[in-house]
Amino acid sequence: MTTKDVGRTARRGPYAKSEERRQTILDAAHAVFAARGYRGGSLQDVADRAGMSQTSLLHYFPSKRDLLMSVLERRDEITSGAFPDDMREGLADSVIRTALFNEDIPGVIELYTVLCAESVTDEHPGRDYFTARFERLRASYARRFAELAAEGRLRPGVDPEEAATSLVALWDGLQTQWLLAPDQVDVARGLRGFFNLVLLPEPN
């Protein structure tokens, strides 16, 4: 090992420890916001769960808003694991697989549902995030439905944009019901039923 290698190792050590602490804080904030929301969960709650002082926490995240946005960004990183590089599957299969993927990640659906509902309140820092997310989802699904219409797969009378809006609303609604009664609500089954209503079977 050269002197340069020793220097690099020394620099990586503190950085790795700092990144580990940051991830610990994000995990704690994820749990707190999922359980209590942004308004109800305090920085002290997060610090206590992370096993540090609030002063130490603020060293990594200068404000509660910064922490929230970082938690939402991390949530997107986690759920992106549902999308492989090779996306050749159809829209219905992609949506259903993603729904099942999210159910297996503790706290992801709870965090999303709680913060999304809370974001409609006055001056909530997550409002722009969720507004942009819904716009992006509606546009993306509308394009996919339009492609299916061009292939003759969309049932007569179904509008691609309306189908996209309905899909987003249904998915969120099913997830909320699933959180309240997981033994009674099957999100994947509900989504599959929707696609059966708006899509024609693939030709043999």
**This prediction's pTM:** 0.84
- Report the distance separating Cα 61 and Cα 59, nearest Å: 6
pLDDT on residue 169: 98
pLDDT on residue 162: 98
Chunked into runs of 10 residues, the chain (204 residues) has average pLDDT values of 51 75 95 95 96 96 96 88 60 92 91 96 95 96 96 96 98 97 97 97 80
DSSP label at residue 146: H
pLDDT on residue 192: 97
- Report the distance separating Cα 38 and Cα 29, nearest Å: 9
Name residue 109's amino acid.
Answer: I
Contact 201, 154 (CB under 8 A): no
The structure tokens listed for 196 are 């059966």
Query: Hey, what domains does the chain have and what are their CATH numbers?
Result: 1-67 (1.10.10.60), 83-204 (1.10.357.10)
